[in-house]
Amino acid sequence: MSRITDIVTKLAEAPASELGLELWDVEYVREAGQWVLRVYVDKDGGVGIADCEALSKLLDPLLDEADPIPDSYVFEVSSAGAERELKRPRDFERFMGSDVEVRLYRAEDGAKTVVGKLAGYSDGAVTVDTAGTQRTFEKGRVAKVRLRIV
């Protein structure tokens, strides 16, 4: 993680927890010529606009006080979404057996995307069951893993 996302993660954990939200991810990215700080949250039953607004109101003054970003940026709080990206070992553990889409850096067997059930995760290697056949992809081959709604 970058220094900015580390700081924002630490700042966001307590207010998110106070609101009954799970902090899912923090990203600081350049989009359409501007910097965007995006905080993703989750909760049982789903995240609504009121949840995002409440966290934004609690977190905004903390960001102003800590001032981790020297330049101007757009600040957003968003739901992690139904087809969220899995990044941490706990994400993979939580969604074991779920439908996933694995995007590879390079095509293998003619495809850069593999869809199946998450069957394993160890040291960054992802195992997917595709119609009864298990395929394991080492960390260096995997660009992204997302949940997939079928």
First and final C-alpha spacing in the chain: 31
Q: What is the pLDDT, as a whole number, of residue 140?
A: 94
Question: Which of 3, 149, 143 minimizes the C-alpha distance to 87?
Answer: 143
- pTM passes above 0.85: no
Measured CA to CA in angstroms, residue 74 lies from 60, 71, 103, 144 at distances of 11, 10, 28, 25
Q: What is the pLDDT, as a whole number, of residue 2?
A: 77
Q: What is the pLDDT, as a whole number, of residue 53?
A: 97
Walk along the chain (150 residues) and give the pLDDT tens digit of each residue: 479 999 999 999 999 999 999 999 999 999 999 999 999 999 999 999 999 999 999 999 999 999 999 889 999 999 999 999 999 999 999 999 999 999 999 999 899 999 999 999 999 999 999 989 999 999 999 999 999 997
Q: What is the pLDDT, as a whole number, of residue 109?
A: 87
Domain borders along the chain are: 3-79, 89-147
Residue 11 CA to residue 34 CA, distance in Å, equals 22
Q: Classify domain 89-147 by CATH architecture.
A: Roll (2.30)
Instruction: Give the chain's largest Cα–Cα span.
Output: 53
Q: Which fold has domain 3-79?
A: GMP Synthetase; Chain A, domain 3 (3.30.300)
Q: What is the pLDDT, as a whole number, of residue 150?
A: 79
